[in-house]
Structure 1
Amino acid sequence: MIMRAFCVAAVAIGLATSAARAEFFGSPDFTGTGPGFIQGGTSPIPRETIMYPTNLAPGTIVVNTAERRLYLVLGDGEALRYGIGVGRDGFRWGGVHRISAKKEWPAWTPPRQMIARRPDLPRHMVGGIENPLGARALYLGSTLYRIHGSNEPETIGQAVSSGCFRMTNEDVTDLYDRVSVGATVIVKN
């Protein structure tokens, strides 16, 4: 009788804990649009609308690698500012490109230069929550570089990539929905 009561109590606690966890974190969301967006985490650098006086057209993206921030020009002197991860020493670059493609849950094929440095990498990964490109990717011209999601939110604000710009899955999904193929991307190094 005591053992049965213990088991019933343990199950009740487990259900209560699961319910509390679901209420706190939200239900798992594989689409990247809800509060329980898994493996994306919240950015340690919150997204915010800021004053950003510029003559750049709305929809232009400005990446400031020194600040480790990405700005989406909104117009009327405002921009959305996102925290990003940038290239580590020796992998930072600058220039002007256009978004040449947008992909949801992109597959990843590491470039040969990366495989030469890291032979342990897979030769190809299908899109999904374990993929290092995360939920969305914005391809920058004909370069090897992208603005993409990450399943490692702790890297936002850090210099750890091989030249790509990392965002949390939540932030890259927000940006993805706001920009179009052809949008200008200015990378300041």
Structure 2
Amino acid sequence: MSADTKRGLNRRRFLSTTVASVGVLASPALAQSTGATVEIESDITSTTRRNISSFRSLRWQPYFQTLRKGAILVDTTSRAAHYWSEDGSTYKLYPTSVPLSEELTRRGRTSVVRKVEGPDWRPTPSMKRRNPEWPDYVPPGPDNPLGTHALYLGWTYYRIHGTHDTRKIGRRSSNGCIGLYNQHIAELFALARVGTQVLLI
């Protein structure tokens, strides 16, 4: 096997197993403004439908005391992210990927501390121990496991980000982060701001 072939195989293996969670559809699958119901548009793929374990709209009051600076709730059981704007006029619901195991899952309260469009990526030390073949650095672009946008959280190494791998939506597939389709993270990125509350349950 030539060196070029080996590199191609390693690159495909890396892309199919990275920390990223979800990816791109041709058009938005979910994006619901304030309302009592949540609609899954007809263009959502059948694979994505199977992967989403349950989808329902929620009210913010059981989870947050106020909507100051907006709020993001990530439900790791239903594999969904909910967003409410500060004035309560906008509500969005997105399918997500979640961590592979309980050991990798962090729950609790934090906030958005940084927003990056076109993020680069470095595997954490624990990821490199588990996957020594992974590269030390991936620049922004189509091979980046963080997709097109990333919301960095107050916890080290934890992010809500996009992905280019559409197969992982609705699944336990990440090394700790929460992943969205690239078009959904772009929308959430525009809505959220530094200081937006985040709760993972």
Asked whether 1:87 is paired with 2:71, we answer: no
Question: Who is 2:112 aligned against?
Answer: 99
- 1:47: how far off? 2.9
Preserved CA contact (<8 Å) 1:40 1:152? yes
Preserved CA contact (<8 Å) 1:138 1:147? yes
Q: Amino acid of the residue matched to residue 83 of structure 1?
A: P
Among 25, 30, 33, which residue is 1:46 paired with?
30
CA distance in 1, matches of 2:29, 2:125: 32
Deviations 1:65-91 (A, max 9, x none): 001000001354862100000001232
User: Which secondary structure does the structure 1 equivalent of 2:122 belong to?
Assistant: coil
CA distance in 2, matches of 1:78, 1:66: 23
Question: Who is 1:60 aligned against?
Answer: 71
- 1:121: how far off? 0.6
User: Which secondary structure does the structure 2 equivalent of 1:144 belong to?
Assistant: coil
**Fraction of identical pairs, as percent:** 30
Question: Who is 1:129 aligned against?
Answer: 142
Q: Amino acid of the residue matched to residue 159 of structure 1?
A: R
Q: Which runs of 5+ in 1 are unaligned?
A: 1-38
Q: Which deviates further from its counterpart, 42-51 or 61-70?
A: 42-51
CA distance in 2, matches of 1:43, 1:70: 18
Higher RCO (Cα < 8 Å, 6 or more apart): 2
User: Which secondary structure does the structure 2 equivalent of 1:113 belong to?
Assistant: helix
User: Which secondary structure does the structure 1 equivalent of 2:199 belong to?
Assistant: strand
Q: Amino acid of the residue matched to residue 73 of structure 1?
A: W
Alignment of 1:87-166 (within 5 A): 87-89=99-101, 90-166=103-179
Question: Who is 1:178 aligned against?
Answer: 191
- 1:93: how far off? 1.9
Preserved CA contact (<8 Å) 2:99 2:172? yes
- 1:46: how far off? 2.4
CA distance in 2, matches of 1:148, 1:88: 16
- 1:53: how far off? 2.7
- 1:42: how far off? 4.7
User: Which secondary structure does the structure 2 equivalent of 1:167 belong to?
Assistant: strand
Q: TM-score, normalised by structure 2?
A: 0.69
User: Which secondary structure does the structure 2 equivalent of 1:171 belong to?
Assistant: helix
Q: Which runs of 5+ in 2 are unaligned?
A: 1-22, 37-57
Q: TM-score, normalised by structure 1?
A: 0.73
Among 77, 80, 84, which residue is 1:73 paired with?
84
